[in-house]
């Protein structure tokens, strides 16, 4: 069972060096214990482009599809047998990156 752990933030490129070190240590634990699937940090929402390819010609629009004060700054995809394990891992991830996170199951 895979879960998306989204990192909620209101600033971009805001991780400090200490936070980056904690995140790397956390990633190592995820890998060592077989929970690691994928992870990544995202550039600012300002850098996003929205594409609508449903018509004959694709339409490109500048900016994120949703303007909000808080946004997705990065994510982990983790492997966990159930939500209790996922929540425990997410709590450690939240501590490591020093941000709130959201856990959502994949279908």
Partner 1 sequence: MNAADIREAIARVHREEWARIVASLTKRFGDLDIAEEAAAEAFATAVERWPGDGVPPAPGAWLTTTANRKAVDRIRRERKRGGKQEEAQAMYGDTPEPHGAIEDERLRLIFTCCHPALATETRVALTLRMVGGLTVPEIARAFLVQESAMGQRITRAKAKIKAARIPYRVPSATDLPARVSGVLAVLFLVFNEGYLATGPDADPVRRDLTAEAIRLARLIRDLMPADGEAAGLLALMLLTEARRTARVSASGELVPLGEQDRGAWDAALIAEGHRLVRERLASGAAPGRYQILAAVNAVHTSALDMRDTDWSQILALYDLLVRLDPSPIVALNRAVAVAEVDGPEAALAIVDRLPLDGYHAYHATRADLLRRLGRSALSRAAYDRAIELAGNTAETAYLTRRRGQPGLPAPRPMSSAPPRGHIGKDDLEEPGPRRDREPNPLKGRP
Site of interaction with partner 1 (CB under 8 A): 1, 3, 81-84, 86-87, 103-105, 107
Least Å distance, CB 90 to partner 1, is 11
Nearer to partner 1, 48 or 87 (CB): 87
Nearer to partner 1, 56 or 107 (CB): 107
In this structure, how many other beta carbons lie within 10 angstroms of the beta carbon of residue 22?
18
Distance CA 80, CA 2 (A): 6
Distances from the Cα of 46 to the Cαs of 12, 15, 60, 68, 81, in angstroms? Answer: 10, 18, 14, 11, 36
Least Å distance, CB 106 to partner 1, is 9
Q: How many residues are there in the chain?
A: 107
Least Å distance, CB 33 to partner 1, is 16
């Amino acid at each position: 069972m895979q879960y998306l752990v989204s990192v909620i933030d209101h600033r971009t490129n805001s991780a400090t060096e200490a936070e980056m070190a904690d995140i790397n240590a956390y990633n190592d634990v995820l890998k060592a214990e077989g929970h690691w699937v994928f992870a990544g940090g995202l550039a600012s929402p300002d850098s996003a482009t929205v594409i609508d390819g449903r018509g004959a010609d694709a339409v490109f629009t500048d900016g994120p599809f949703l303007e909000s004060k808080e946004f997705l700054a990065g994510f982990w995809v983790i492997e966990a047998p159930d939500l209790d394990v996922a929540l425990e891992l997410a709590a450690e991830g939240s501590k490591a990156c020093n941000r709130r996170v959201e856990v959502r199951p994949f279908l």
